[in-house]
Structure 1
Amino acid sequence: MRTQDSATTATTIAVAATGSLRAGSAAAPEGRAAADPRTRGTLLAGLGVLSFSLTFPSTVWGLESFGPWSLVAVRSTLAALIAGAFLLAGRVPLPERRHWAGFAVVACGVVIGFPLLTTLALQTSTTSHAAVVVGLLPLTTATLAAVRTGRRPSRTFWIAAVSGAVVVLGFTLQQSGGAFSTGDLYLFGALLVCAAGYTEGGRLAALMPGWQVIGWALVLCLPLMVAASAVTLSIEPVHLTAHGVIGLVWVAAGSTFFGLYVWYRGMAAIGIPKASQLQLAQPLLTLFWSVFLLGETLPLAAPVAAVAVLVCIAVTQRAKS
């Protein structure tokens, strides 16, 4: 899981101002135009969250046809080929050398680490349970972003963010009987690496278009993922089904490329802390997809958690960062 075209083209319009009325009428449109990037950024980040909410159900479908290691390797390879095609078509020049360390963090976090750890977790955890644990991602991302960028969101922001995380954590413990499983440990590890990737990707997305951020991160992983695909496909059995193919295509093209594209673009427009809080809605969306697509039983506590989390989202979006 975007980007940025924070390289906004600055167009200079020369208008002959023949009076104060004309000048006043020009001020309003400019004010509205200035507000557009934040509104657009929120919509893009929200679209990214919607894309990500389908990742766990799609991964479960993909596991019908592939093993966990081969699924991650093949999805990353396909996503990298898509990204590479876009970069070639756009004749995008190679990034400056000073940015490659950041791309490596993005690649390790969101291209390899998060998909692998969550796929391993989903072998034993339900998608609804995994979705709630990953609901802690916004707080993790906001914390790492504060450390990485040196910015300090307001107290109100942190109270709302921590409250949302507490709701998610309490929901998780209640559903798992008060104990964490091996799958939960995979998920907690996924939180850390993904938050690091989001934070570094959001920083890069302020310097270049978001699709280029995830594009170069994917291309950076391509040689490794091609080799991993060859090895894992020869070891893990493959039984192609319609669900398996659809799941693979979505996690590759939908979650890994498109979702991260719009996500980084949204983060560049509204900031990492506020964008990350939109992900508090992701567990609720995934719960819906878990029921609708996988037939899982929706926990009774979900509606209560949904209301509490949505309130936290509203507060964090209004809080001054």
Structure 2
Amino acid sequence: MKKENSATVRDGVAVPASEPGSEQSRRRRGTALAFLGVLAFSGSFPATVHAMRGFDPWLTALGRAAVAGVVALICLKAAGRPLLPPRGRWRAYVLISLGVVLGFPAFSGLALDLGASTAHAAVVTGLLPAATAACAVVSAGERPRPLFWVGCTAGAVAITAFTLTQHHGRPTWPDLLLVGALLSAAVGYTEGGRLARHTPGWQVISHALVLSLPLTVPLTVVLALATPMNPTPPSVAGLAYVALVSMFLGFFPWYAGLAQGGIARAGQTQLTQPLLTLVWAWALMGERFGPVTVAAALAVLVCVAVTQRART
């Protein structure tokens, strides 16, 4: 007699269990897609710094969301999709909007404006995968194995130790703002990854951006009229990058990867983001960083390998 596959329950819907081989392949594909998203996000801090050389920090944070929201609106209209998400899922989309559309850009931009270097900000936000994994357990019902938590915790410890050594054991205001940024992103990533299990990732971020338009567009117009601007080619390019890539296109593979590879597991690929951002900061901005920064980035890179070997 043929044995029927068991089923799991996701968001209240029974989903047939996959064969072990196909499940492993799906998770690997999810990890690869998530890494593409990380590659897109890794240029966000250098691009933000360039943008703020010509625009106010608040204008940069809200303007990127407004531009991305208008583009998302056009894409949804062209694809014949509803412009707003189903009402039953508005709570999740509001959390995404507060987390990745408003919270992360505002907190990280202010931290950079108050003096945090791109390299320092990148390494501190290496705590983000740990925060995302915790949110995945609470909100998405994921249960990673102990080995996963070993790698995740080791990465968090390495990042924390790095932060404290930079300021003689005392966190600074930019550090606290960066913590606010990573907590905001963790919530937005978890909710988006959960919704992407049954909605294409590009639609998830598009709906969140469109839902924010009544707030982001008016505030952007007010700030554009009230704050001084000195648009230069580098600052305009930086704003375009964070609006179109960091805020929109990067979420296409990112949310798809979280849905396929598991939010906690695939989310650990973001531990590679500090190292990638250090490369961009050196190549595009000429920033210099010491061996401690490099050691911290490499330590979290090792932790990625550990988390990816652990099954969820």
CA contact (8 A) 2:45 2:277 kept: yes
Partner of residue 43 from structure 2, selected from 18, 34, 54: 54
Partner of residue 150 from structure 1, selected from 108, 124, 141: 141
**1:198, distance to aligned residue in structure 2 (A):** 0.7
Partner of residue 184 from structure 2, selected from 157, 172, 193: 193
Match of 2:104 in 1: 114
Residues 186-240 of structure 1: CA deviation (Å, up to 9, x unaligned): 1111111111111111111112000000000000011211101111112211101
**1:86, distance to aligned residue in structure 2 (A):** 1.1
Give me the identity figure in percent. Answer: 48
Structure 1 position 232 matched with structure 2 position 219? no
Match of 2:26 in 1: 37
Q: Within 1, Cα distance between the matches of 2:28 and 2:152?
A: 21
Q: Within 2, Cα distance between the matches of 1:40 and 1:271?
A: 11
Indicate how the Cα distance of structure 1 residues 161 and 33 shifts in structure 2: closer, same or farther if over 3 A, else same.
Answer: closer
Q: Within 2, Cα distance between the matches of 1:50 and 1:151?
A: 25
Q: Within 1, Cα distance between the matches of 2:220 and 2:295?
A: 42
Match of 1:20 in 2: none
1:209 partner letter: P
Match of 1:292 in 2: 283
**1:85, distance to aligned residue in structure 2 (A):** 1.2
RMSD: 1.7
CA contact (8 A) 1:284 1:302 kept: no
Q: Within 2, Cα distance between the matches of 1:306 and 1:297?
A: 14
Q: Within 2, Cα distance between the matches of 1:313 and 1:73?
A: 32
Aligned residue for 2:171, secondary structure, equals: coil
Match of 2:57 in 1: 68
Length-normalised TM-score, structure 2: 0.90
Aligned length: 293
Q: Within 2, Cα distance between the matches of 1:32 and 1:88?
A: 38
**1:277, distance to aligned residue in structure 2 (A):** 0.7
The structure number with the bigger radius of gyration is 1
CA contact (8 A) 2:100 2:184 kept: yes
Q: Within 1, Cα distance between the matches of 2:53 and 2:167?
A: 25
Q: Within 1, Cα distance between the matches of 2:111 and 2:27?
A: 35
Q: Within 1, Cα distance between the matches of 2:96 and 2:20?
A: 35
Q: Within 2, Cα distance between the matches of 1:38 and 1:90?
A: 28
CA contact (8 A) 1:142 1:276 kept: yes
Stretches of structure 1 that go unaligned for 5 or more consecutive residues are 1-29
Aligned residue for 2:74, secondary structure, equals: helix
Q: Identify the structure with bigger relative contact order (alpha carbons < 8 Å, sequence gap 6+).
A: 1
CA contact (8 A) 1:274 1:316 kept: yes
Structure 1 position 101 matched with structure 2 position 91? yes
Length-normalised TM-score, structure 1: 0.88
Stretches of structure 2 that go unaligned for 5 or more consecutive residues are 1-18
**1:156, distance to aligned residue in structure 2 (A):** 0.9
Indicate how the Cα distance of structure 1 residues 32 and 159 shifts in structure 2: closer, same or farther if over 3 A, else same.
Answer: closer
Indicate how the Cα distance of structure 1 residues 180 and 160 shifts in structure 2: closer, same or farther if over 3 A, else same.
Answer: same
Q: Within 2, Cα distance between the matches of 1:143 and 1:34?
A: 23
